[in-house]
Chain A
Amino acid sequence: MDRVGVILCGGCGIGDAVDLDAVAAAAAAAGAAATLVHPCCCAADGLEAIRAAVAAHALDGIVVAACSERAKRQELASLGFDPAGMWRVALREHCAWSHPAGDEDTRMLAEDLVRMGLARMRGCRPIVPVAAAVSDTVLVVGGGRAGLEAARVAAGLGHPVVLVEKGEALGGRLAAQRSVVPEEPPYDRPHPNPIPGLIAEVTSCSDITVLPSTTIGAITGQPGRFAVRLDGPPATELTVGAIIQATGARPYDAHALGHLGYGASPDVITSEQLEVMLLAGAVVCPSSGAQPGRVLFIQCAGSRDDQHLRYCSSECCATTLRQAHELRAIDPKSEIVIVYRDLRAPGQLEHLFAGVQDMAGAMMARGDVDRVRVDGRLSVELSNSLLGEHAAVEADLVVLAVGMVPTAADGELIRRLHDARHQAEHAESAQARADAGRLAGELSRHQGTEILNLGYRQGPDLPALRYSFPDSHFICFPYETRRTGIYAAGTVRAPMGSAQAAEDGAGAAMKAVQCIEMAKRGEAVHPRAGDCAWPEFFLQRCTQCKRCTEECPFGTLDEDAKGTPELRELRCRRCGICMGSCPERIISFQDYSVQMVADMIKAIEVPEDLEGKPRILALMCENDAVPALDAAAANGATWNPWVRVIPIRCLGSTNVIWIAEALSRGVDGVILIGCKYGDDYQCHFIRGSELASTRLDNVGETLQRLALEPERIKLVELSHDEFDRIPLVLDEFAASLEALGPNPMKGF
């Protein structure tokens, strides 16, 4: 933007703390096309004054130096600027409220903040949203309860649906169940199986095309226009706008549970096998064909166990309670024992649970099952029981409540398998070929597990996180996966019961529809929902290093044969991680680029003499760290006045050139504050802070070569709620820099 005006607000105490006329003069000196000081910008006359200034000076962009961007959003949005036209500087939180009024340092801070905003704004270019034909169709993969519900809801929202099912019939695992856990008041008895009704509704809906016995041959493209090839009778090609993966789960293989007697006695069965008998209306001991006098359920059979499934499948307890009710209905005399570690029957399931407790002849026993003896009558030996000692319970039929394993493929591992196979044949050294061969062997179990067959650079399926479930930060981003436009729902996403799977299907359908509608407007989806800017690649300078295609957490970039990135704009979440990764700095958004942040750093006035005031650059994640700093200011915290904060989209967008730029200009230290990473990551973009940390390790080596202390750079993980900690982090860093002495590059 060429004509950028600076609006300075004097409200909320800013005018009392800072001499705004001096700041305005500094802004004018730094090239502002106009400056406006107003005592209350968010009031009607303030907004009117801004409009008048914009019109009078023909401004194409403004820097609003007032409060945090989280305040007065609506008021300032009414000015009608897009993100490339308006930048907000949190003069109130980052300067006026957190530093002594009238201080020289406070004024210098205000001037720097405004100059930085101005520098940034001048680098912005107009945003032209991606425009492309978008398909309204939603592809649902899997015809279980979640998939059926997703199809029903998406169709109800006016979208055509294609429902693909690998098997011959719809219904999934639930189709073979006598009933489901209660879903409506009084919640104290099994609920009739809703699957037949749901199937009838879906198959009779004219907007839903059901394709049984069909798998996915290939998916390419991006949200709004995925090109899908279906393998089925007949093979079909179609374009869809969004995809819901609801491929469900399968029961854990009980053959691994020899210590519980499975395989050793025919009278040790799984809950699935019991369900078959319940459906047939006769429960018998397979060994003798006689009615069991006592049926014993073992909960957590192979679940929450380091040797087997490490997680809780969450629905086995409810299933057992339901089966106990069904068993009782078939044979009121049979005794029921439920051995559990923690019986989980949350919410209204309490009523189902209480019903089993009240059954005469039903007993719930807490304990860990050590083993099941199969010589003679089955005897289940417990330790850690509530008796505080070992105990044994005899039974005629033992039912193992096994957990569930998601029917998901691990896209990243499949790709690593393919890469390793390729390397095993083509690597240059014999050692590399042998290593790759070994890796391929370890990963061979992923051979042929593909479901979605995505033609993505990063692998043919969704990336998985813990326990092989698709990586999905459900609390922050429900149903989102790391592949934009593809949503996971039901037991493939997380272990859950049937009612929750139905809810999941509906939720994912709404996300899919939302994605299609946003694609039509060229907007990013969560978490930068509505952002229409997109990354431009100056490919003439691309060295095909593939860092961007590797590091994008969302698989946005494909590659051509040479390894040049191919952008699929609508897969992009606009985090800027590619921008941070690029050693050639050829990736820029219209409103966010390496150059723009570098210009902001240049706009910081660094006192040149070694005895002068130090300067500290703080690159902070705008999702967590900056809001935490705002909250700190609102709570009256103060921090070192030499810190200059630059909000960035994600630490992952940090390009090391920024750090080099800062240090070469005499800034004494650089602190990066971002989200927690690791398995419990809090990063909005999955791996941003982790990638930044890796990049900093490399920078540390460079610093040592330049005879600069690596301690001048620091990365801190911090969450949104740690507003009490963030001023301490800044002050401690400032103190450590003071101990190191000034940056020797000052003044060069």
Chain B
Amino acid sequence: MSSIPVVQPSSKFREAFAKRGGAAAARCYQCAACSSVCELAPAAAPFPRRQVLWAQWGLVDRLAADPGPWLCHQCNDCSLRCPRDVAPGDLMAAVRGMVVECLAFPRAFGRLVANARTTWPLLLLGPLLFWVLLLGATGRLVLPAADPQLGGLEGRFHYQDVVPHALIYAVYVTATAWVAVALWVSGRRYWRLLGAGAARHGSFLANLFPVLGDIATHARFKECGRGVPRRRWGHFLLMWGFVGAAATSGFAILYLYGGTPIFDWLGLGHGYPLPLDHWVKWLGNLSAVLLVLGGTLLYANRLAVGDRLVGATTGSDRFLLYTVIGVVVTGVLTEAFRFVALPMAAAWLVYVLHLGIVLTLFLTLPYSKLAHVVYRTLAMVHERMSGLTTG
């Protein structure tokens, strides 16, 4: 009898879970309307009814080890149909938030970001202060001077004069490596949890590629019961905007190794500053456009579909949103100020702000909603490997 799970309905879990948006779980009477309307729920392990029950009963381990919350794309059709106003869609989001925090590496960072509602000044000002101190320490707290040598499409001055590229690369390569490590550790924890719950077959990579294809086209969004095109294409543009921005940054790094034939062939041998019509610039600007377009579409969707379908927005959701907006706005302004005859101080300020907020975005990525890049991908691969079928 020792194998009987002991249910621990703790008030602490209830309260914590409520803060994440799962307050209404207790109201559920298990009619399973939610699981019935969900187009994404695998037939063999439908969600979100079971997850609501586990949340009611405080079975945290089961919630954490379940692929369901990540297979959910939060169309919130279930919340709309729920006769008891349980909002299972929000509950699934709350579970995701809980998983991100609990599996975070290190845990303290996870808590810090999960509590962004109160810790946001630290999260924003910390990286900014770091940059200011770093610049001060390296004696670079100076305003750039206009460079009359530059062509019309190259702007008025070099941002390299504000912050040397080496410094940028040093900081962001380190940050990227850190993000990769944090995501790797969390992802591995999650992958093991998933594996403990179901037998998997086949190779990871062979199953990863179809999943990536799925993600690239956002095919699943189409299946969602409330998969209004705005949601799908908004998220689609946003995702590709981020991918483009990341690629732009990647190519920028490659400049450090410029001069080899292949780079020459790609036209990467060009010296800084790049003119506006250079294809890397095109890529960066296109990404910014995609981000703005995608964001606008999603925002329009929020206005159009009503509260129930939008779902609950937690403090850390808002933090991520403002951070992304901050990155896009300061990024665009940074570029614009190269060409606009404003006091150099303005350009300096915007650039440093941009560097700070980008660092915030980087460092919080494994602990914010953005971690879904890893968790959802893993859950989708697990779904294929463990034979759950999407029904």
Contact = CB atoms under 8 A, between A and B. Distances in A.
A361 B12 CA distance: 7
B373 to A, nearest CB: 32
B88 to A, nearest CB: 15
A386 B56 CA distance: 11
Nearest to B58: A363
A392 B6 contact: yes
Contacts of A390: 1, 4-5
Contacts of A362: 9, 26
Given A363-B58, A381-B4, A391-B4, A335 B10 contact: yes
A335 B5 contact: no
Contacts of A364: 26, 56
Interface residues of A, number: 25
Contacts of B14: 360-361
B270 interface: no
A349 to B, nearest CB: 14
Given A360-B18, A361-B14, A363-B58, A387 B5 contact: yes
Contacts of B1: 381, 390
A357 B30 CA distance: 14
Most chain B Cβ neighbours within 10 Å, of A357, A360, A379: A360
A335 B12 CA distance: 10
Contacts of A354: 27
A359 B57 CA distance: 13
B185 to A, nearest CB: 31
A329 to B, nearest CB: 16
A357 B27 contact: yes
A115 B10 CA distance: 82
Interface residues of B, number: 20
A333 interface: yes
A71 to B, nearest CB: 45
Interface in B263-284: none
Given A354-B27, A363-B26, A333 B7 contact: no
Contact of A365 (B6, B7, B10, B11): B7
Contacts of A381: 1, 4
Interface string B6-22: 11111100110010000
Interface string A566-608: 0000000000000000000000000000000000000000000
Interface string A290-302: 0000100000000
Contact of A358 (B5, B11, B27): B27
Contacts of B37: none
B53 interface: yes
B231 to A, nearest CB: 31
A357 B9 contact: no
A70 to B, nearest CB: 43
A205 B9 CA distance: 51
Given A363-B9, A392-B7, A393-B9, A387 B57 contact: yes
Nearest to B3: A390
B83 to A, nearest CB: 12
B198 to A, nearest CB: 16
Interface in B1-52: 1, 4-11, 14-15, 18, 26-27, 30
B276 to A, nearest CB: 57
A393 B6 CA distance: 6
A332 to B, nearest CB: 10
A41 interface: no
Given A333-B11, A364-B26, A387-B53, A394 B5 contact: no
Nearest to A393: B7
Contacts of B59: 387
A387 B111 CA distance: 30
Interface string A373-410: 00000010100001101111110000000000000000
A337 interface: yes
A333 B4 CA distance: 27
Contacts of B27: 354, 357-358
Given A363-B57, A365-B57, A381-B1, A357 B26 contact: yes
Given A357-B27, A363-B26, A391 B11 contact: no
A357 B56 CA distance: 10
Contacts of B18: 360
Interface string A325-368: 00000000101010000000000000000100111111111100
Contacts of A392: 4-7
A365 B58 CA distance: 11
Contacts of A386: 30, 53
Contacts of A394: 6, 8
B87 to A, nearest CB: 14
A363 B56 contact: yes
A363 B349 CA distance: 53
A391 B18 CA distance: 24
Contact of A361 (B5, B6, B10, B30): B10
B11 A335 contact: yes
Nearest to B18: A360
Contacts of A389: 5
A389 B5 CA distance: 9
Nearest to A296: B9
A146 B57 CA distance: 40
Contacts of B56: 363-365
Contacts of B8: 394
A83 B11 CA distance: 71
Contacts of B15: 360-361
A432 B135 CA distance: 114
Interface string A461-474: 00000000000000
Interface in B56-111: 56-59
B5 A391 contact: yes
A595 to B, nearest CB: 63
A294 B58 CA distance: 14
A335 B9 contact: yes
Nearest to A337: B9
Contacts of A379: 6
B26 A358 contact: yes
Nearest to A334: B11
A484 to B, nearest CB: 45
Contacts of A393: 6-7, 9
Contacts of A365: 7, 9, 56-57
A20 B58 CA distance: 82
Contacts of B9: 294, 335, 337, 361-363, 365, 393
B71 to A, nearest CB: 20
30 contacts: A335-B9, A335-B10, A358-B27, A359-B26, A360-B15, A360-B18, A361-B9, A361-B10, A361-B11, A361-B14, A361-B15, A362-B9, A362-B26, A363-B7, A363-B56, A363-B58, A364-B26, A365-B7, A365-B9, A379-B6, A381-B1, A381-B4, A386-B53, A389-B5, A390-B5, A391-B6, A392-B6, A393-B6, A393-B7, A393-B9
Nearest 9 CB-CB pairs, A to B? A361-B11, A363-B9, A360-B14, A357-B26, A393-B7, A390-B4, A392-B4, A392-B6, A360-B15
Interface of B: 1, 4-11, 14-15, 18, 26-27, 30, 53, 56-59
Interface of A: 294, 333, 335, 337, 354, 357-366, 379, 381, 386-387, 389-394
Given A337-B9, A361-B10, A361-B15, 9 more contacts: A357-B26, A357-B27, A360-B11, A362-B26, A363-B56, A365-B56, A391-B57, A393-B7, A393-B9
